[in-house]
Amino acid sequence: MSADLVVLGLGYVGLPLARQAMRSGLSVLGFDVDAAVANALNAGRSHVDDLSDDDVADMIRSGFRATTDEAEISVAATAVICVPTPLSAEGGPDLTAVRAAAHTIARNLRPGMLVVLESTTYPGTTDEVVRPILERSGLVAGDGFFLAFSPERIDPGNERFGTHNTPKVVGGDTPESTRRAAAFYGRFIDTVVRAKGTREAETAKLLENTYRHINIALVNEMARFCHELDIDLWDVIHAAATKPFGFQAFYPGPGVGGHCIPIDPNYLSHNVRAKLGYPFRFVELAQEINATMPAYVASRAQNILNNAGLAMKGAFILLLGVTYKPNIADQRESPATPLARRLTALGAQVTYHDPHVNRWTASGADIPRSTDLEGAVVAADLVILVQNHREYDADRLAALAKRFFDTRGVTTAATTHRL
C-alpha cells in the first residue's frame, strides 16, 4: 500500500489540507499522536470548524484513514507537518511538536520523499531544526530527500477563500526541492507562489500577520483617543476606505485572537532579539496596545455603569460572542477570556451567550451560559457585544438592552455605546 500524502497533525491546518488533497484525487493518510483524535476521525467525527461530520465521513468513504502508527508514514511520497507551535515562555515558538514530528518522519524516511513544514515558526527553523533531524536518517536533503517550507494560510470560517483557492507559498532548501513542492501543491491548489528559499517562505507568513497586527493596533489606539475627542472612528474608517488606492481598512475591537495575529508576530520579534540583539519595536508596541484592549473595554464598561449610577461590583454583565472571530466555535486566544477575567476581578457577575460555544471557562472557572438570548439581554445591567455572530441582530438586541456596549461597530442607534 502507498499514499501520495501523509499529514502529520490533524487539526485546523492539517485536516482541511488532507480533505482538499483527497478531493483532487490524491490518496491521503493522516497521522496524529492523539489516539482520541484519530479514533474520532475514523468514526466520522470532526473537531474543526471548517469540516462537518459529513465532510469527514466522505473522506473516510474515499479512503482517508487516521493512524497513530508512525511506521505507516514510510508509504507516503510526501509528508507535511501541520503541528502546533504555541508561544513559549521565552516569547518564541515552542518547537516541541515540530521536533517530535521531524524525528517521527526521520525514523520512517525513505529515498525521494518530499517533506514540507507548514507550522508557523521563525525564519531558519526548516534549515536549522528540521533538516538536521531528518538527516540523522542517513539521507541528505536535496539529494536523498527533498525539504521545503509552505506557510499555512487557513482562515477558519472564511466562506470565500479556502485551501484550494488561497495562493500557496512554497520555498525549498534547494531549487529542486522548491520545484517538487510546487508541483505537489499544484495538484490540488489553484495558485502556487515560489519563494526564493525556506527562510523567505517562513518570513512571508510572519510579514502577513505582522502587517495585520500593527494596523489593528493602530486603529485600536485611535479608538481610545477618538472616544475621548467625541469622534466616531467607525465613520472615519468608512470615509477613509472610499479612497480607491493607498488605504486598506482595519477595524478596532476588544482585542485580537486566534493562533496567528496575537502570536506569530512575536516569533519574528523574538528571532530579531535573539539573533541580532535589538528589538523589533513596531511589533512590541503593537503587542502592548492590542494586549491591553480587554482591560480598556472593561474600563469603558465600568464608566458606562458609573454614568448610570451603578457600581461594577455586583452588576450583571452579559457577553455576546466569546469566540475569536465570528461564526465559528474556535476560542483560541479569544479576547473574551481576559475581558471576563477583568470584569470578574472588578466584582461583576458575568454570564455569556454564544450559539457556537456550549461551555466556556475563564480563570479556570466555568462562566454561566445563557440559553435565552433575549431574556438575558433584557435582564442584564450591561450587554457587551464581543463577537458579532450572524445569529445576532445587534440593533434589535441593543434596543432590548438597558445598556449596550458594541465593540464591533455594527449597531446604528445613537443610544448605543460603541468602542
Specify burial of residue 84 (Cβ count, 10 A radius: 0-12, 13-18, 19+). middle
| β-pair type (146-149, 168-172) | antiparallel
Report yes or no: 296 and 227 within 8 Å, Cβ to Cβ. no
Q: Catalytic annotation on 260?
A: yes
Longest dimension (CA), the chain: 74
Which listed residue (66, 260, 336, 398) is catalytic? 260
* Residue that has been written with the C-alpha cell 508514514 in this structure: 73
Q: What are phi and psi of 320, to 5 degrees?
A: -105, 115
Annotated catalytic residues are 260
